[in-house]
Structure 1
Amino acid sequence: MTHRNAVAIVENFWKEVWQSRNPDAIDALVAEDFGITSGGVLIESRPLFKQWVARFLASINDFRFEVVESFQDESGSRVVSRWVVTGRNNGFMGSHPCQSPIRMTGTAVMHVRPDGLLQHNWVERSALEVHRSLAAANS
């Protein structure tokens, strides 16, 4: 079994897509049939994922993505990352774009294929807590 640095592959994805706010970088980094499961909802295919990312980025002004930590399993097929997103509300989760501060934490489990492309991302995030804080700020 060959040991590989799958953390570097995933952290490059974070850098190129999320930290650079560039959904087009997805084309080179994820499989065509990539899927993301977020909050129990599956978004399947590279094109649909790119649209999802673009909408997400548009909903948070001054978007910042910080990786807290990442680690991988022995085979390098799974990487877990904890992260923090900050910015200002520009309609996150359908809310009024009030520009209130947003701070959301999350955890992602990535499936990294042997060829280095990402196959799937299971993500859990504190979106409900963010939504509640935005609702309180607008009441």
Structure 2
Amino acid sequence: MMNKSNSSLTHTPEKLVLEFFNRVWHSPHELDAIDELMTTDYSITTAGKVVKGRNEFKNWVGEFQKLLLDAKTESIDVFYNKKENKVVSRWDCSGRNNGLFGLKADNRFISFTGIAIWAVKDGRLAECWVERSAYELYQNLISGEKETDFV
């Protein structure tokens, strides 16, 4: 595993987000990268829930990745403001269903889209707000379709 220690501190907000996706949301799912890419007090608002603190976020990601096996998030679009303190990404997340939404783990390939807005502070991601196509994903999982694709 390649160590990119402190590399995020010299990145543009765009590169910071792409590094987060590549290291945390691609195999081998380097959850410890969260320690260098996020602030200690990092928080994320997603699915009606606020996860506060870098360690709590790391636990949340780990639990989510247990429900979405082989999870992979790809950025479709990413841009940031002139002050470089906000960055937005439109993305696609995919993997195999292992019990999302408390439903049966059927190992089906699934994908869903979303948009994330991050605040950047001192060269790290500090806060995030996520909107994702969870309702559409849920509807397809309960419908019994063989494959779900929201690309």
Instruction: Give TM-score scaled by structure 1 length.
Output: 0.90
Alignment of 1:1-80 (within 5 A): 5-20=12-27, 21-80=29-88
Structure 2, unaligned stretches of length 5 or more?
A: 1-10, 146-151
Q: Tell me by how many angstroms 1:22 deviates.
A: 1.9
Deviations 1:65-102 (A, max 9, x none): 11101000111100000110112101112211011221
2:141 is the counterpart of 1:134: yes
Quick one: which amino acid aligns to residue 120 of structure 1?
Answer: E
2-structure distance, mates of 1:92, 1:23: 20
For the pair 1:119 / 2:126, whether they are aligned, the reply is: yes
Residue 107 of structure 2 is aligned to residue 99 of structure 1? yes
Paired amino acid for 1:108: A
- Size of the aligned set, in residue pairs, is 134
Contact 1:112–1:120 under 8 Å retained in 2: yes
Distance in 1 (CA, whole Å) between partners of 2:30 and 2:91 is 18
Q: Distance in 1 between matches of 2:94 and 2:21?
A: 14
Percentage of pairs with the same residue: 37
